[in-house]
Structure 1
Amino acid sequence: MKTTGTLPPEGSAAALDGGHALPVRQWPITLVLAVAVFGLAITFAGGFKVGLLTVGASLLLGAVLRLVLPEVGMLAVRSRFTDVTVLSVLGAVIVLLTLVAQPDPWLQLPLLDNIGQLIGRQRH
């Protein structure tokens, strides 16, 4: 079965006109991917938490760009609401998990300590 008549998502037109090179026309997704790759490079170089915070920040940056810009090119995948929600949740989860990662978490959440104790009790 062939799908016909599908429309592109709202805001999926290129951010700049055709007179510019492709990466420049698609600067929102290029920027988000560049920040994410930079974060991965930091992570692989040994900066685990800083690198993953940068990756999470790149997703949050994508959410902000999708929310405020009228045209974002390939950064638009679904509706504006869905794109912003998914990017925000994924970015926030990566940032939160990075902040509570062991050893020496930068953020202490007593709820997570209690969950860890409950899991430890169930194993014995």
Structure 2
Amino acid sequence: MSAEASGTVRGRLRRAGRGRTGQEPGGPDGSGGSGGAAGKGRRPRGTRRFPLFTRDTARPEGGGRAAPGDAPAPARQWPLLSVLITVGVGLLVIALDAFRVGLLLVGIGLLGGAVLRWLLPRVGMLAVRSRFTDIVTYGVLGLAVVLLALMAQPRPWLEIPFLDDVLHYTVRNR
């Protein structure tokens, strides 16, 4: 399949009459052929359209290195590693049959991620979205996990009468 027949950018440029450099057909300056004085020094007009294929994405706000560039990789990503290690230890504790304590560690790890994202100007790969969205996401998920761990049965450590009433109302009326 030739480049002209394919849907590639190069094939489209060739069909439009442009060469590899993107110049207009004709003269080397894009003037249409004669190379007169009116066309010298003029660049081909650019376009404001987005490129067909993007090659890069914008780094999220605060997504730079958390340590200088000459530091080893774990030191540059310490905020993310601290959250991952806390969540990993929590999952290990859950696997070792301490459900409530393990879930508390997972929730505390997520809440710690929210606090790090809020306090530090650069958190490396812990920054996924905008600062506000990251703080809200980590905070809400961490708080939900902690509250559910505290209210887990049997013998909950936290009892919220309102939620107990809602549960009894929904179960009783079915």
Report the TM-score when normalising by structure 1: 0.92
How much identity, in percent, do the aligned residues show? 50
1:61 paired with 2:77, answer: no
**How do 1:81-120 residues align onto structure 2 when only pairs under 5 Å count?**
81-120=132-171
Q: Structure 2 CA distance, aligned partners of 1:117 and 1:42?
A: 32
Name the one with the larger helix percent: 1
**Matching residue of 2:128:** 77
User: What are the ranges of 5 or more consecutive residues in structure 2 without an aligned counterpart?
Assistant: 1-51
Hey, what does 1:8 align to over in structure 2?
59
1:59-78 deviations in whole A, cap 9, x for unaligned? 00000100010100000011
Residue in 1 that maps onto 2:74: 23
- Separation in 1, partners of 2:163, 2:152: 11
> Where do 4+ consecutive residues of structure 1 move more than 6 Å?
none
Higher relative contact order, chain-length normalized (CA < 8 Å, sep 6+)? 1
Helix, strand or coil for the counterpart of 2:69?
coil
CA distance in 2, matches of 1:26, 1:113: 42
Which range moves more in the overlay, 12-21 or 83-92? 12-21
Q: CA deviation at 1:4?
A: 6.1
RMSD: 1.4
2:31 corresponds to which residue?
none
The amino acid across from 1:108 in the alignment is E
Alpha-carbon distance in 2 for matches of 1:21, 1:42: 29
Q: Tell me whether 1:41 sits opposite 2:88 in the alignment.
A: no
Equivalents in 2 of 1:70, 1:5: separation in Å? 23
TM-score under structure 2 length normalisation: 0.67
Query: Where does the alignment leave 5 or more consecutive residues of structure 1 unmatched?
Result: none
